[in-house]
Amino acid sequence: MAEFELLDKIEVYEKNYSEIMQKMAEAGKCNDIETIKECGKKIADLEEIIDLAKKYRTQLNAIEDARELIKNEKDEEMKEFLKEELAASIEEKEKIEKQIKRFLTPKDPNDNKNIIIEIRGGAGGDEAALFAGDLYRMYTRYAESMKWQHKVLSSNPQGIGGFKEIIFEINGKGAFGDMKYESGVHRVQRIPITESSGRIHTSTVTVAVLPEAEDVDIQIDPNQIRVDVFRSSGPGGQSVNTTDSAVRITHIPTGIVISCQDEKSQLQNKERAMKILRARLLEIEQQKQFDQETQMRRSQIGTGDRSERIRTYNFPQNRITDHRINYTTHQLGSILEGEMKEIIDALKLEDEEKKLEQIGTV
């Protein structure tokens, strides 16, 4: 993106900033507290780009002045000094340009939302279910390290451990922004505890990370859902409740079926099922948008395709490989204990770089 194009974009923000400052000043005269608060929030959001704009213009002026001085300077020693100053100003200008482009990069409006994570055992039977349990532990440990809250919404435990399916929520600022890259197929290679010959098996687990949908995001017509109640059952099908507290909700237009039985109250199970349904319907709507915005899809590193194999966990070699960014680490044990910050930061950085490249071509 050329300098004049970047300045044009900056000027839009500067004009907006001036207008908001004027509005805030007028609100102050008549003691309009609500308007002052609203303007204050908008000003805080724009302060970064306004500060960067000032620094950017300072460097552009310094570069222009240095080039003019070099052109007219006769003393070779002074000319060399000025060239060094010019190089430093150009380097600083490029650094500020990158910060401005990062600010201009479209933000995902869901990044600060709470999330619902669905983990399901795929190929591999019991071993896949066991690894689903490992991933559940990994994500909840990471959530705890971030001071986020988590709660199981629905689960289908496996008899020998792990889960055929587990759905849980994580509540905390920035949860979706960190965890959205986990959607996809996770492959595990290890010797199952049930394997006597020591052979390495390959199993898969699917993960879906959904931003929590509010009523304002998704409106569900009560006439388009069917609610069935039944008795909760545990592993092997045995009844664990003597009342019809389990709830199954079917969304007729899409055929989506949600069952919840972990709570003793029918009302609580229904609320949980509706929460999951809203998240899935929001995902469908967002997928439609993504499919229409082909340019945006090309700038992403894979943040929603459940069929995409995204990562391999190789236990014999203590190795994790993320196939989207060619990232490999031999800290498998610590990552499974929830120390995921490094791999999450690597994914976020790669995604950011791709989006910056996209901005550069606009």
Q: What is the pLDDT of residue 217?
A: 67
Query: Judging by DSSP bridges, how do beta strands 327-329 and 319-322 pair with one another?
Result: antiparallel
| 250-306: pLDDT as tens digits | 999 888 988 888 777 888 888 888 888 888 888 887 777 666 555 444 444 554 455
Question: Can you tell me the distance from the alpha carbon of 150 to that of 179, in angstroms, rounded to the nearest whole number?
Answer: 13
Residue-wise over 86-103: b if at least 16 C-beta within 10 A, else e?
Answer: beebeebbeebbeebbeb
| CA angle at 124 for the pair 323 and 334, rounded to the nearest 5° | 50
All structural domains of the chain with their residue ranges: 3-104, 115-353
Residues in Cβ contact with 213 at an 8 Å cutoff, skipping those fewer than 6 apart: 278, 279, 281, 282
Q: What is the pLDDT of residue 297?
A: 44
Q: What is the pLDDT of residue 304?
A: 45
Question: Can you tell me the distance from the alpha carbon of 261 to that of 256, in angstroms, rounded to the nearest whole number?
Answer: 17
Confirm if 141 and 338 have CB atoms less than 8 A apart: yes
Q: What is the pLDDT of residue 50?
A: 94
Query: Judging by DSSP bridges, how do beta strands 201-211 and 115-121 pair with one another?
Result: antiparallel
Q: What is the pLDDT of residue 296?
A: 44
End-to-end CA distance of the chain: 7
Q: What is the pLDDT of residue 216?
A: 58
Q: What is the pLDDT of residue 116?
A: 92
Q: What residues of the chain score a pLDDT lower than 50?
A: 236-240, 295-300, 303-304, 362
Q: What is the pLDDT of residue 359?
A: 61
Q: What is the pLDDT of residue 337?
A: 96
Question: Can you tell me the distance from the alpha carbon of 321 to that of 2, in angstroms, rounded to the nearest whole number?
Answer: 37
CATH class label, 115-353: alpha beta
Nearest to 273 by CA among 107, 153, 189: 153
Q: Is 269 exposed, middle or buried (0-12, 13-18, 19+ CB in 10 A)?
A: buried
